[in-house]
Structure 1
């Protein structure tokens, strides 16, 4: 299926950079591949969460069922000194001209594209652009070009504005810059965002510089080019090369999310919702590679034939506005778009795709095997484990406070609600490893949709975390 979508980088913050180049991105670029997973508003930057029943989520809710001993085992020290360095948003591009700008921004990071086949799936992660389009995109948003490591230097883009940003205070001796690239930037990826926002990398002597993959490029491209050390991706990104008999250029060494983060939102509260209620209903379904495959599999798991629903293919950047204007009976989005709809009284979350499917290898951290053998990789992993444990054990409101500087357009309450949804859903488990069971579940999803022709080997896609002997 072809679909014109745009993708733009949302608040890309380079913490130790003194100069930043920010350029407005064209809204409609049909020349790029659809990135799959997010949709949002001017106050959200994407991603999902769980929960149904009472729509009022306790922002301080902790992830249920996680034993304190599991957390303690991940964090050797008892006290975590966190410091958040608020970014300085000093340049803005042309004003957005959507009737509801909120919906446009909500997808802040989805590339646009057309075509899906076994080699171009789109996993809901942008790297996935070449394969399984990632999770989301946004149009008409600001894109920041960041220097990608020591190999490149920023140069002004045509029509861009060069802005100054003061250097943040140092929490400790920082000797090395580590370049991290997101395919999509949203609260769904809080395990990685918290590693930066909470100061965990600086505690390991690493100065984080993060960016969003350029339009038309995959975050994996940056890793292969040597300008990115580690990127947000998805194990399904390895399926494309394997389907062609090729060796994937990177390996996936840790999970970010072990569940799908999309939700189904209806027009009225429905605490007794069952998936068979979607039969013959118009559902605005995100048609990105991985999101669509996951939605189809969720229907299958709940005993509903996907063909029995009237699936409406609306460009991701327009889904929110379309639903608010009365199109469709339900809409399929990643958080925080559904949570924003609820806060605005425009919709009610009735189901979670992640809950319907269960654990699967959804999104991940990826790098080259060579980098995984470095001391930097071990320090990064140490920081990531601590950040993940902190994220699981900390009230959602506190997490939102820590990450709020990265999401200036999102209401703090909506951000906290989204994080609480994901905590309760169990997207962020205590273990960081990509399990074989989760990988097999991902194969089930893609095989069900006909996106892969055979079951690929775990060892060809996944590697152990760099701090594991």
Structure 2
């Protein structure tokens, strides 16, 4: 069975500490600074940017600073190296670390998305696309052990395509460079998040033919995590952060793609407004965002089943070891949804 060793994790830790070394130290301010690492920068995380730009974090008395990790492994390493206080990534990283019984645990406390946020693009329009059309072709995929790649392989397998046998999957291209590689004629298909998928479509270099969110079903795709020690020492910050995220989830659920795009535009200054709207609309249509921040056991069980299918895990890690729901439950209980 494949396994991420603690030695490998330490190597990633070094990479992440180097990557995030430019982050500022906490300033002496009236509001506590909360360093948040997001796994990638994507419209997929629209509620987070809504919380930022509508002032929900400030309303809770928090000064949130965002940095991009470019991978769940790097986001996890940022927490372990104290380069971030809170990190948004798939729970699989917390599962892998808990499996190795390290002294520090990563704990998920607020779920943001409930479906895969990536789309499958081909070089030409394929209105009658079937997953078996990829046989004999090449896909630009993701990092082994990451949720995007595991969901891709899970979907392929359950649609009569054996990954790495019926189709070649490229997995050595950095997550931030996959769109550019595809535009440079690498591969026949590529898996991209928004707004990357819409941007590639807009250039005519590729065409969305399927959604992994629709094909993969409901899973806790991205969740906010912190170390067990940070949560124990800073419960007020965790509660306030969760409150802001829940308010944003409510707002996103009750507003149009155009309204959401307008609010999050400052986080995507180089992206055309119409592309932002189409990106948000795609996510809203497939019910991508969680309605509340509670990470439920049955949802994590499904993700762990996918990890086991992908041979990244041999048995499930107990839910209670890596999930703490009290902050999300308190937010749902105390915040008026009207």
> Offset at 1:213?
4.3
TM-score normalized by structure 1?
Answer: 0.61
Q: Is the 8 A contact 1:286 1:333 kept in 2?
A: no
TM-score normalized by structure 2?
Answer: 0.83
Equivalent in 209, 216, 225 of residue 357 of structure 1: 216
Secondary structure in structure 1 of the residue aligned to 2:249: helix
**Partner residue in 2 for 1:285:** 141
> Offset at 1:468?
3.1
Equivalent in 378, 383, 405 of residue 266 of structure 2: 405
Q: Is the 8 A contact 1:128 1:234 kept in 2?
A: no
2:307 is aligned with 1:446: yes
Secondary structure in structure 2 of the residue aligned to 1:271: coil
Higher share in helix: 2
Mapped partners of 1:242, 1:226: distance in 2: 18
Mapped partners of 1:212, 1:421: distance in 2: 23
**Partner residue in 2 for 1:423:** 284
Mapped partners of 1:392, 1:128: distance in 2: 39
Equivalent in 166, 177, 200 of residue 308 of structure 1: 166
**Partner residue in 1 for 2:22:** 145
**Partner residue in 1 for 2:334:** none
Mapped partners of 1:128, 1:191: distance in 2: 32
Distance 1:149 1:181, change over 3 A: farther
Mapped partners of 2:308, 2:267: distance in 1: 36
> Offset at 1:217?
8.3
Gaps of 5+ in 1: 1-115, 122-126, 135-141, 152-166, 168-173
Secondary structure in structure 1 of the residue aligned to 2:205: coil
Q: Is the 8 A contact 1:233 1:363 kept in 2?
A: yes
**Partner residue in 1 for 2:54:** 198
Output one character per residue of 1:314-333: Cα deviation in whole Å (capped at 9) or x when no partner.
62455333433444322222
Q: Is the 8 A contact 1:195 1:383 kept in 2?
A: yes
Secondary structure in structure 1 of the residue aligned to 2:225: strand
Superposed, which structure 2 residues align to 1:166-315 within 5 Å?
175-213=31-69, 218-224=74-80, 228-246=84-102, 248-290=104-146, 291-306=148-163, 307-313=165-171, 315=173
Mapped partners of 2:303, 2:129: distance in 1: 26
Deviates more, 1:347-356 or 1:212-221: 212-221
Distance 1:308 1:218, change over 3 A: closer
> Offset at 1:421?
1.3
Secondary structure in structure 2 of the residue aligned to 1:264: strand
Secondary structure in structure 2 of the residue aligned to 1:149: coil
Indicate the structure (1 or 2) with the bigger Cα radius of gyration: 1
Q: Return structure 1 stretches of 4+ with deviation > 6 angstroms.
A: 214-217
Gaps of 5+ in 2: 331-338
Secondary structure in structure 2 of the residue aligned to 1:193: helix
Superposed, which structure 2 residues align to 1:22-41 within 5 Å?
none
**Partner residue in 2 for 1:158:** none
Output one character per residue of 1:37-62: Cα deviation in whole Å (capped at 9) or x when no partner.
xxxxxxxxxxxxxxxxxxxxxxxxxx
Superposed, which structure 2 residues align to 1:370-409 within 5 Å?
370-372=229-231, 374-409=235-270
Secondary structure in structure 2 of the residue aligned to 1:386: helix
Q: How many residues align?
A: 320
